[in-house]
Chains A and B, each alone.
Chain A
């Protein structure tokens, strides 16, 4: 269970998070939606310790994430970054097996490569991709490699930051399906950030909407369309008119 309690974060005078409260039960898939610049990525990065909140508490299974031993704490996580964040200087297989080539999860090189190729196959990529460099791949393939890297060490918790941004609708559908399948088959806890409503419907068990620095609405995805929350309604239907001010 991941819990955020009254989390605040400001950058200079700009208060991004103003008391976020959110619970993600173990083995469920939570999708956080909200407009650009509302602090969704900050929420996610706060859990990982990439950003330090100004106040509030974030716990994982009851333990304060800031006090956790970093190596073993991070070993429980996998993350798919918005742009893939693949290491340009390494071939694809070494990107996927990065965690298996060093640190506490280190395996022999041949075994790590074998696992990488198996994970690449799991995300629909053929073994000949393994020796290419990230710059030689299309955007969709880079996302798949990023996904393979996120699941390579079989983490308990996987974060997805805008997994379908920049992809065409068909590739978005493929990535959404892969995420759903992988999260279900691994029994992992997932937290996804997206603007893409097709991703929300494909990936989520639960949805939380972040607006004005707080969680505006949260509940099961099945109740999202009948929530009666004007903010959520405006967002999911993409209306220009409503309580959320659109900057023109």
Chain B
């Protein structure tokens, strides 16, 4: 009986902890959105964040999408050969990249590159009293640090997803035409014919949602770090884990929504 009670108590404790964390994150997200539409708006900080989240993420996003598109083409070709469906490579690469792999891979790359960087930077600012210094200098930390980064996530990650989709399709195209014997014009024609407007919309909406999640988690964990170097490490790890899990969960939800349209 005692063991059962302890077991149930442990489950209850964990569930309460998760619910409390979800509540705190929801409040933080609401506050961020509230500050986004109220002045002052720090344009210089937003500009820096757009560059940092968007432009400087291009190499890693491009390379990831290119190799994934190429590998996808090979897999579809070899898998399709089992039931004489090798010809569907352009269509499946296109739909796979645009609907699913493009947004998810870009989201996870942003979680690895941007979320970690935001969490570590803000957490370090917190433990070295730079956040307190901002307050004493009449500057709201949320407006100065969180809003520019989250706004950059919302704007730039869909752009990165769009670029990632194109590069991924190009990866499949290069493998398809150079290694698998596809005709170049036919490959491109099949790709263009098969993709629908809704596929592109779902890809970009997912990008915006993942960008919001990735940057918000970085800011939330950074702002709520505990003391010292260990606190910075813990915040960074927690931010990346939370961002990755939430991105995959949001992907499932959004896919379900778009699937029903």
Contact = CB atoms under 8 A, between A and B. Distances in A.
A85 interface: yes
Contacts of B138: 70-71, 74-75, 99, 103-105
Contacts of B135: 48-50, 74
A235 interface: no
Given A70-B138, A71-B138, A74-B138, A103 B40 contact: yes
B183 interface: no
Interface residues of B, number: 13
Nearest to B131: A85
B129 A99 contact: no
Contacts of B40: 102-103
B134 to A, nearest CB: 8
Interface stretch (A21-29, A76-84, A200-208, A211-219): A76-84
B132 A102 contact: no
Given A102-B42, A103-B40, A81 B132 contact: yes
Interface residues of chain A: helix, strand, loop or mixed (majority): mixed
Interface string B107-145: 000000000000000000100111011011111000000
Contacts, number: 48
A194 to B, nearest CB: 16
Nearest to A152: B137
Interface string A57-83: 000000000000011001101110111
Interface in A99-149: 99, 102-105, 149
A45 interface: yes
Nearest to A45: B132
A98 interface: yes
Interface residues of A, number: 25
A50 B132 contact: yes
Contacts of B130: 85-88
Nearest to B124: A88
A99 B137 contact: yes
B139 A85 contact: no
Nearest to B133: A85
Interface in B127-173: 128-130, 132-133, 135-139
A81 B133 CA distance: 8
A70 B128 CA distance: 23
A85 B139 CA distance: 14
B133 A79 contact: yes
Contacts of B132: 45, 50, 81, 85
Interface of A: 45, 48-50, 70-71, 74-75, 77-79, 81-83, 85-88, 98-99, 102-105, 149
Of all A-B residue pairs in the complex, the 6 with the closest CB atoms, nearest first, are A85-B133, A85-B129, A74-B138, A79-B136, A81-B129, A99-B137
Given A74-B136, A77-B136, 10 more contacts: A45-B132, A48-B136, A50-B132, A74-B137, A81-B129, A83-B128, A83-B129, A87-B125, A102-B42, A102-B139
